[in-house]
Amino acid sequence: QKEVEQDPGPLSVPEGAIVSLNCTYSNSAFQYFMWYRQYSRKGPELLMYTYSSGNKEDGRFTAQVDKSSKYISLFIRDSQPSDSATYLCASPTDSWGKLQFGAGTQVVVTP
């Protein structure tokens, strides 16, 4: 069983809508959470990270962590066609940088 679970999608939304992405994790020792964005035929790139419960905002992106329910979310406001990509959540399993990734959710924003 994967330690980080994510709905693979695809998730299709119209331009301007709010995109809501979710992951669940099973290991309560996870302290640090990241969202990577992966465009087609490219390597993943770090989008956001958060260390503790609560919200973190960066422009149109908001990352949310609920440690009590082991649930992490990413919200994209005013979505654009350029946001069409696969979004992967991740958490390091220990301090050595060994990351556990979710399977990724494909997002399609239609003009």
Partner 1 sequence: EAQVTQNPRYLITVTGKKLTVTCSQNMNHEYMSWYRQDPGLGLRQIYYSMNVEVTDKGDVPEGYKVSRKEKRNFPLILESPSPNQTSLYFCASSPTTSNHEQFFGPGTRLTVL
Residues forming the site for partner 1 (CB under 8 A): 2, 6, 8, 32, 34, 41-46, 49, 88, 90, 92, 95-99, 101-104
Per the CB < 8 A criterion, the answer to whether 68 and 40 are in contact is no
CB-nearer residue toward partner 1: 17 or 100: 100
- In the 8-state DSSP scheme, what is residue 42? S
Shortest distance (Å) from residue 71 CB to partner 1: 18
Full DSSP string of 9-34: --EEEETTSPEEEEEEE--TT---EE
CB-nearer residue toward partner 1: 17 or 73: 73
Instruction: Find, among 89, 72, 79, the residue nearest to 109 by Cα.
Output: 79
Shortest distance (Å) from residue 90 CB to partner 1: 8
Q: Is 22 exposed, middle or buried (0-12, 13-18, 19+ CB in 10 A)?
A: middle
Shortest distance (Å) from residue 107 CB to partner 1: 15
CB-nearer residue toward partner 1: 20 or 93: 93
Shortest distance (Å) from residue 96 CB to partner 1: 5
**Structure-token pair, residue 69:** 């329910």
CB-nearer residue toward partner 1: 19 or 90: 90
